[in-house]
C-alpha cells in the first residue's frame, strides 16, 4: 500500500459520500484498516469505516477468519512504544509509569474497533462480527486475544448506565415484536397469537433492555406472569386458554423466561440488572406484589445424573442409580418423589470437580444474583426439551430484597448455596 494510492482512494471516498469506490473494493481490507486507524483520512473516516464494515460483511467464513487473525496480529500494541514504556517503568516503577505502560500496551485493534464504531450502524455490525468470532474460537483459540479486545470495549459501551428498560406490549412496533419471537430461547413463542398472550394479557408483562445504538433490537428480555401463588409448572402459564387475573389482585411476580438476544454480547452481563429493575418497576406499579420468584429450567440435571450413575464413584445412592436406570427404560416415572431428592443434590452439592460452586448454569446465575433456591417441582415441564434436559423438573428461585445482598455475599465469598429449608431437607434425604 503506497500512501499516495490510499490518499487518492480516500479522496474519492469523500467525494462520493457513502458509495464505495471501485478501488476501495480492490485495496486489501487490512490496509484500509491501517488507513483508518493511523488517522490519515480523518475527513472521511466515517465513510471509510462504513466501507470496511460493508466489505467485512461480504467475506466468507474462511476469509473472515483470515482477516480477524491478521487484525489481531498486525494491530497489536506498538512494540517500540512498549519497550520505551517498559524502560521508563524500570527506571521509576511508580503509578505514572504504570499508567503509561498501560497506554503503550493497548492493542491498536481497540482503537480500530472504536473508529469502526463511528460509522452509522457500526455498533450493530461490530456486535455481529464478534458473534462470528465467537463461533471461530473453538477451532481457532488463538483468536482469544482479539476477542478480549471486543469484550473490553463492549463492557464499556454496554454499561448499565447506557441501557434503557422498556416494557414491550401490544403497542410496540412489529419490528421489535418479531425480534422477541425470534430471540425467545427458553419457551418458544409459536407465532403472533402466542406472543400476544405473553405481552397483551392483563396479567403478563415483558420487559427488555435496549441500547441507543441498537435501536429496535433488544439486548435481553424477561417475561413475567402475575399470579396468586408461586407456580409449580410452566404449562398453566403458557396455556392458550386460561382465565386472566386482574393484576391488582396478584401477589406474586413470576419470571418464567429470560432470553439473551445478542450472541455477539456473550459474556457482557445484563441479566441481574434487568431482574432487579423489573422488580422495582413492578413494585411501583402494583403495591400488592410481595413475592418475586422465577420458574426456571434445570438444564444440566439429566446429563449429570446419567453420567454420575454410569460412574463407580459418581456419588449417587444405589436407589438413585436405580431411579436413573428406570427413567431411562421407562420403568420409572418422572413424578417419582425420589427425583426431587436427586435434583436437590444436583443443585445444592458444590461442584468441586470443576472448582465451581454450583453445577447448574441457571442456578449459578440466580444464586450469583443473590436469589435463593426455593422449591423443586416434578412434572413441571413436559415439553420435549424439558423432558430431555431434566425429566420435566423445574425450580423456583426467590428474589427477596431483604436477603438478596447477604445471599450474594455468602455465595460469592464463601461458596454457600442458599436454599430454602424445604430444599435443604430434600437434599439431605436424597443424600442418604
Q: Is 131 in the site for a second copy (CB under 8 A)?
A: no
List the one residue from 23, 156, 335, 388 that touches a second copy (CB under 8 A). 156
Q: What is the β-pairing status of strands 296-297 and 394-398?
A: antiparallel
3-state SS, residue 205: strand
- Grid cell of 428 as nine digits: 439431605
- Phi/psi at 357 (nearest 5 deg)? -70, -50
Q: Which stretch binds a second copy (CB under 8 A): 24-32, 212-220, 301-309, 417-425?
A: 212-220
Of 40 and 321, nearer to a second copy (C-beta) is 40
Of 84 and 196, nearer to a second copy (C-beta) is 196
d(CA 259, CA 271): 9
Chain positions 97 to 126 lying near a second copy, rule: CB under 8 A, are: 98-99, 101-103, 105-107, 114, 117-120, 122-123
Q: How many residues comprise the chain?
A: 432
Q: Is 128 in the site for a second copy (CB under 8 A)?
A: no
- Grid cell of 277 as nine digits: 429493575
Q: Is 401 in the site for a second copy (CB under 8 A)?
A: yes
- Phi/psi at 394 (nearest 5 deg)? -130, 165
Chain positions 166 to 195 lying near a second copy, rule: CB under 8 A, are: 170-175, 177-178, 191-192
Q: Is 296 a catalytic residue?
A: yes
Q: Is 162 in the site for a second copy (CB under 8 A)?
A: yes
Of 232 and 368, nearer to a second copy (C-beta) is 368
Q: Mind giving me the DSSP string for 311-379?
A: STTS---HHHHHHHHHHHHTSS-TT-HHHHHHHHHHHHS-BGGGTBS-S-HHHHHHHHTT-EEEEEETT
Chain positions 403 to 422 lying near a second copy, rule: CB under 8 A, are: 404-406, 408-409, 412-413
Of 104 and 380, nearer to a second copy (C-beta) is 104
Q: What's the min distance (Å) between Cβ of 271 and a second copy?
A: 11
- Grid cell of 102 as nine digits: 498501560
Of 171 and 329, nearer to a second copy (C-beta) is 171
Chain positions 251 to 280 lying near a second copy, rule: CB under 8 A, are: 272-273, 276, 280
153 and 114 in contact (C-beta within 8 Å)? yes
Of 382 and 405, nearer to a second copy (C-beta) is 405
d(CA 197, CA 319): 42
Chain positions 28 to 87 lying near a second copy, rule: CB under 8 A, are: 39-44, 46, 72-73, 76-77, 82, 86
DSSP letter assigned to residue 106 = S
**Which of 359, 380, 26, 23 is CA-nearest to residue 187?**
380
- What binding mask, one character per residue, do residues 5-34 give for a second copy by CB under 8 A, x or -? --x--xx-xxx-x-----------------
3-state SS, residue 158: coil
Q: Is 366 a catalytic residue?
A: yes
d(CA 132, CA 62): 11
d(CA 64, CA 60): 6
Q: Which stretch binds a second copy (CB under 8 A): 23-31, 55-63, 162-170, 241-249?
A: 162-170
What torsion, rounded to 10 degrees, do the Cα atoms 149, 152, 157, 163 define?
Answer: 130
Alpha carbon 338 to its chain centroid, in Å, reads 33
Chain positions 318 to 377 lying near a second copy, rule: CB under 8 A, are: 368-370
Q: Which stretch binds a second copy (CB under 8 A): 247-255, 305-313, 326-334, 399-407?
A: 399-407
Q: What's the min distance (Å) between Cβ of 395 and a second copy?
A: 20
List the one residue from 159, 307, 333, 388 that touches a second copy (CB under 8 A). 159
Q: Which of 21, 366, 377, 390 is catalytic?
A: 366
CA atoms within 13 A on the CB side of 256: 26
Q: Which of 45, 257, 259, 296 is catalytic?
A: 296
Q: How many residues bind a second copy (CB under 8 A)?
A: 82
What is the set of active-site residues? 296, 366
Amino acid at each position: 500500500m503506497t500512501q499516495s494510492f490510499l490518499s487518492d482512494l480516500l479522496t474519492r471516498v469523500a467525494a462520493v459520500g457513502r458509495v464505495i469506490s471501485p478501488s476501495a473494493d480492490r485495496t486489501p481490507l487490512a490496509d484500509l484498516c491501517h488507513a483508518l486507524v493511523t488517522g490519515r483520512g480523518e475527513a472521511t473516516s466515517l465513510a471509510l469505516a462504513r466501507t470496511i464494515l460493508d466489505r467485512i460483511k461480504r467475506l466468507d467464513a474462511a476469509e473472515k477468519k483470515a482477516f480477524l487473525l491478521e487484525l489481531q496480529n498486525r494491530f497489536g500494541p506498538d512494540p517500540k512504544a512498549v519497550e520505551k514504556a517498559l524502560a521508563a517503568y524500570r527506571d521509576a516503577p511508580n503509578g505514572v509509569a504504570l499508567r503509561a505502560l498501560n497506554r503503550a500496551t493497548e492493542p491498536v485493534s481497540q482503537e480500530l474497533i472504536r473508529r469502526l464504531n463511528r460509522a452509522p450502524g457500526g455498533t450493530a455490525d461490530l456486535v455481529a462480527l464478534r458473534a462470528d468470532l465467537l463461533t471461530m474460537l473453538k477451532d481457532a483459540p488463538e483468536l482469544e486475544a482479539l476477542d478480549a479486545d471486543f469484550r473490553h470495549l463492549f463492557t464499556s459501551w454496554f454499561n448499565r448506565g447506557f441501557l434503557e428498560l422498556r416494557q414491550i406490549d401490544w403497542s410496540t412496533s412489529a419490528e421489535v415484536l418479531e425480534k422477541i419471537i425470534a430471540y425467545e430461547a427458553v419457551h418458544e413463542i409459536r407465532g403472533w397469537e402466542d406472543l400476544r398472550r405473553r405481552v397483551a394479557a392483563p396479567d403478563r408483562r415483558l420487559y427488555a433492555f435496549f441500547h441507543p445504538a441498537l435501536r429496535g433490537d433488544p439486548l435481553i428480555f424477561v417475561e413475567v406472569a402475575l399470579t396468586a401463588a408461586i407456580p409449580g409448572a410452566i404449562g398453566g402459564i403458557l396455556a392458550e386458554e386460561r382465565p386472566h387475573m386482574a393484576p391488582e389482585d396478584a401477589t406474586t411476580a413470576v419470571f418464567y423466561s429470560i432470553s439473551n438476544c445478542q450472541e455477539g454480547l456473550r459474556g457482557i452481563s445484563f441479566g441481574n440488572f434487568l431482574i432487579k429493575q423489573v422488580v422495582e418497576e413492578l413494585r411501583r406499579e402494583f403495591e400488592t406484589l410481595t413475592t418475586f420468584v422465577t420458574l426456571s429450567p434445570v438444564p444440566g440435571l439429566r446429563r449429570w445424573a446419567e453420567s454420575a450413575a454410569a460412574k463407580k464413584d459418581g456419588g449417587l445412592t444405589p436407589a438413585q442409580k436405580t431411579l436413573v436406570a428406570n427413567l431411562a427404560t421407562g420403568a420409572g416415572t418422572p413424578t417419582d418423589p425420589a427425583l426431587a431428592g436427586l435434583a436437590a443434590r444436583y443443585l445444592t452439592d458444590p461442584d468441586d470437580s470443576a472448582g465451581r460452586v454450583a453445577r447448574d448454569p441457571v442456578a449459578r446465575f440466580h444464586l450469583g444474583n443473590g436469589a435463593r433456591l426455593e422449591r423443586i417441582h416434578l412434572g413441571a415441564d413436559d415439553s420435549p426439551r424439558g423432558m430431555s434436559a431434566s425429566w420435566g423438573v423445574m425450580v423456583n428461585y426467590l428474589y427477596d430484597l431483604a436477603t438478596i445482598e447477604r445471599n450474594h455475599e455468602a455465595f460469592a465469598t464463601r461458596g454457600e448455596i442458599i436454599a430454602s429449608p424445604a430444599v435443604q431437607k430434600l437434599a439431605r434425604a436424597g443424600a442418604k
